[in-house]
Structure 1
Amino acid sequence: MSRTAIIPGSFDPVTLGHLDIITRGAKVFDRIIVSVLNNQHKNPLFTIEERIELLKESTSSLENVEVDSFNGLLIDYVKEKNANAIIKGLRAVSDFEYELQMASINRKLDENVETFFMMTNNQFSYLSSSIVKEVAKYGAPVNDLVSPPVEKALRKKFSERI
């Protein structure tokens, strides 16, 4: 049986912390599907299509990683993709509290899908997409926070807004 895991998120934009979780997950599972959630409650900087492209560029060296997007319930998407696991990256205890609730409801909806929590590398524990956008907005360097394609896209996006 193939071990397929979904790594869901908004990835607006994908950070080195996200890429750390994706890379480590790709070592454990046969197939990883990184899926961009179309969250109607957020006002994203990048479109779904832009985020997908940035993820593809940033994960191109990982042969068992695919990039996709979804709407609706994660558990429905997991079933649609014939996956058997969800990977969630955790930075702090506050992440765990929320993710535990999500894992519990997903388990209630389908007891055959496991959620795996992966602690982020310590060097990325402070990192979030929101922080990256704030730093980039003011022209500060982000090359140690995101991949080169994302850095370029951020610079372009913020130069367009001036």
Structure 2
Amino acid sequence: MKKIAVFAGSFDPFTLGHLDIVKRASALFDELWVVIFENTSKKYMYDEGTRMQMIQKAVKGLKNVKVDCAAGLTVDYMKMVKATYLVRGIRGAADVEYEQSIAWNNKVLYPECETIFLSSSPEHLNVSSTVVRELLKVGVAKGANGKKILAKYVPATEIPLLTTNH
């Protein structure tokens, strides 16, 4: 039986931390779906199409990784693609507590769902989409060292999109 996993998030924007989790998870599963889910309580900097393009470029060499967009419950998407594993990245203790609660609820809704927590690599512990958005809002991308700074947070394939749009 194929081991199919989903890595869900808003990915606004997709970071090196996300890419690290995707690379490591893709080695564990036969098929990995990276799925952009819309969170109605969030205001996004990048539209769904741009985020999808960013992710597709970043994961291009990973043959068992597929990228998609969805709405609704993650477990409903998992059922649709026959996934039984949900991959979640953990940066610290606060993430663990939050993610355990979500994992419990997902298990109630879809008993076959096994949540797999992957700890962030040390070099990505402080990388987050929120930090990247803040750097872009204050104009770091337009500065002389903008691309060099962004390269510490996002895949190189993404930098042209980020520096063009902000």
Q: Aligning the two structures, in what range does the TM-score lie when normalised by the shorter sequence?
A: over 0.9
Q: Tell me how far apart the structure 1 counterparts of residues 69 and 82 of structure 2 sit (CA, whole Å).
A: 15
Q: Tell me how far apart the structure 2 counterparts of residues 15 and 38 of structure 1 sit (CA, whole Å).
A: 17
Q: Tell me how far apart the structure 2 counterparts of residues 122 and 48 of structure 1 sit (CA, whole Å).
A: 29
* Structure 1 residue 132 corresponds to structure 2 residue 140: no
Secondary structure of 2:68's counterpart equals strand
Q: Tell me how far apart the structure 1 counterparts of residues 44 and 156 of structure 2 sit (CA, whole Å).
A: 20
String of CA shifts for 1:96-129, please: whole Å, max 9, x gaps.
1111111000001111110000001011001100
| Overall identity of the aligned pairs, in % | 32
Contact 1:9–1:35 (8 Å) recurs in 2: yes
Partner of 2:143: none
Q: CA deviation at 1:136?
A: 2.9
List structure 1 segments (4+ residues) > 4 angstroms apart after TM superposition.
none
Q: Tell me how far apart the structure 1 counterparts of residues 9 and 64 of structure 2 sit (CA, whole Å).
A: 18
Amino acid at match of 1:80: M
Secondary structure of 1:117's counterpart equals strand
Contact 1:16–1:124 (8 Å) recurs in 2: yes
* Structure 1 residue 144 corresponds to structure 2 residue 152: yes
Q: Gaps spanning 5+ residues in structure 1: where?
A: none
Partner of 1:8: 8
Q: CA deviation at 1:153?
A: 1.1
String of CA shifts for 1:37-59, please: whole Å, max 9, x gaps.
11111111111111111100000
Amino acid at match of 2:162: L
TM-score by length of 2: 0.92
Mean alpha-carbon deviation: is it higher for 146-155 or for 114-123? Answer: 146-155
TM-score by length of 1: 0.95
Q: Tell me how far apart the structure 2 counterparts of residues 147 and 112 of structure 1 sit (CA, whole Å).
A: 33
C-alpha RMSD of the superposition: 0.9
Contact 1:13–1:51 (8 Å) recurs in 2: yes
Q: Tell me how far apart the structure 1 counterparts of residues 56 and 2 of structure 2 sit (CA, whole Å).
A: 22
Partner of 1:89: 89
Q: CA deviation at 1:149?
A: 2.4
Q: CA deviation at 1:94?
A: 0.5
* Structure 1 residue 155 corresponds to structure 2 residue 140: no
Mean alpha-carbon deviation: is it higher for 25-34 or for 130-139? Answer: 130-139
Between the two proteins, the alignment pairs up a number of residues equal to 158
Amino acid at match of 1:123: E
Contact 1:89–1:120 (8 Å) recurs in 2: yes
Partner of 1:37: 37
